[in-house]
């Protein structure tokens, strides 16, 4: 795939029902636009659970039940990540308060996957770093449900496979490392329905928040392959 250069810092959020393919789109965007990187709140949390950190132990049961982790925990996690990548720094103002200063370099271009999930999280994020494109991905619920059953992940990297349309080169093995693929703990139908319910409750105010800011863009499709070209076209019009 040809790569393209970004000329204007892209600060993107992907919003969509669980299993809609946000991770897949994030991976494809990063391949085509190498200056982009991604932060996935779910991946960061799963890593904390795997490493049995204090946070991991606190959030494990919440995640397994398909509920949302408390805002203060998730905000701390994301802010730490934004700072460690130097995508945001802090300057003291005349009043002595600290103001967030997002980097303007096109290399400080990123995709947030899974965060913010609520309007409250979005309002907090606004004061740290302004988002300039929110992609709302829409796929019919029955299609997502049939895909969930065939989804496999490479847990250490977050790479996602689907035995139906995005199969690994070797069955059950990650393409890059050859390590075994696993099922996500929350990828069963009952948990997925619980997660969808949460998504339905929180996504409307979240999308309205960004609609008001004029940065919301919606894309529909039955598969990731249908959505990707539309997303690339929109991205290029805005950032390359």
Residues lying near ligand AMP in the complex (CB under 6 A) are found at 18, 41-42, 45, 62-63, 66-69, 74, 114-117, 121, 195
- Closest approach, Cβ 200 to ligand AMP, in A, equals 13
H/E element holding 161? strand 159-162
> Shortest approach of ligand AMP to residue 13 CB, angstroms?
10
Q: What contacts 121, CB < 8 A, 6 or more positions away? A: 71, 74, 75, 115, 206
Nearer to ligand AMP, 6 or 159 (CB): 159
Nearer to ligand AMP among residue 35 and residue 40 (C-beta): 40
Coil/strand/helix, residue 132: coil
Nearest to 88 by CA among 11, 162, 35: 11
Instruction: Kindly tell me which of 115 and 235 has the beta carbon lying closer to ligand AMP.
Output: 115
Q: Considering the complex, state which of residue 6 and residue 131 has its C-beta at the smaller distance from ligand AMP.
A: 131
Find the residue with minimal CB distance to ligand AMP: 42
Instruction: Please report how close the Cβ of residue 151 comes to ligand AMP at its closest, in angstroms.
Output: 11
Q: In whole angstroms, how close is the CB of 116 to ligand AMP at the nearest point? A: 6
Residue 84: CB minimum distance to ligand AMP, A: 18
Query: Which residue number, 41 or 228, has a Cβ lying nearer to ligand AMP?
Result: 41
């Amino acid at each position: 795939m040809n790569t393209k250069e970004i000329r204007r810092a892209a600060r993107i959020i992907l919003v969509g029902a669980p299993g809609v393919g946000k991770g897949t789109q994030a991976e494809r965007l990063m391949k085509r636009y190498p200056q982009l990187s991604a932060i996935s709140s779910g991946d960061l949390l799963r890593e904390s659970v795997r490493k049995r950190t204090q946070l991991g132990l606190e959030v494990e049961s919440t995640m397994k039940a398909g509920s949302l982790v408390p805002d203060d925990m998730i905000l701390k996690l994301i802010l730490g990540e934004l700072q460690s990548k130097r995508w945001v720094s802090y300057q003291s103002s005349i009043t002595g308060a600290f103001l967030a200063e997002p980097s303007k370099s096109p290399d400080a271009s990123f995709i947030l996957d899974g965060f913010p999930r609520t309007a409250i999280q979005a309002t907090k994020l606004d004061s740290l770093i302004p988002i300039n494109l929110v992609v709302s991905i829409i796929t019919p619920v029955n299609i997502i449900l049939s895909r969930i059953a065939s989804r496999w992940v490479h847990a250490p990297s977050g790479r996602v496979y689907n035995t139906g349309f995005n199969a690994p080169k070797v069955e059950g093995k990650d393409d890059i490392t050859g390590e075994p693929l696993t099922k996500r703990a929350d990828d069963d139908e009952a948990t997925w329905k619980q997660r969808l319910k949460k998504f339905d409750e929180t996504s409307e105010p979240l999308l309205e928040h960004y609609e008001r800011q004029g940065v919301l863009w919606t894309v529909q499709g039955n598969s990731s392959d249908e959505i990707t070209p539309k997303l690339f076209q929109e991205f290029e019009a805005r950032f390359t």
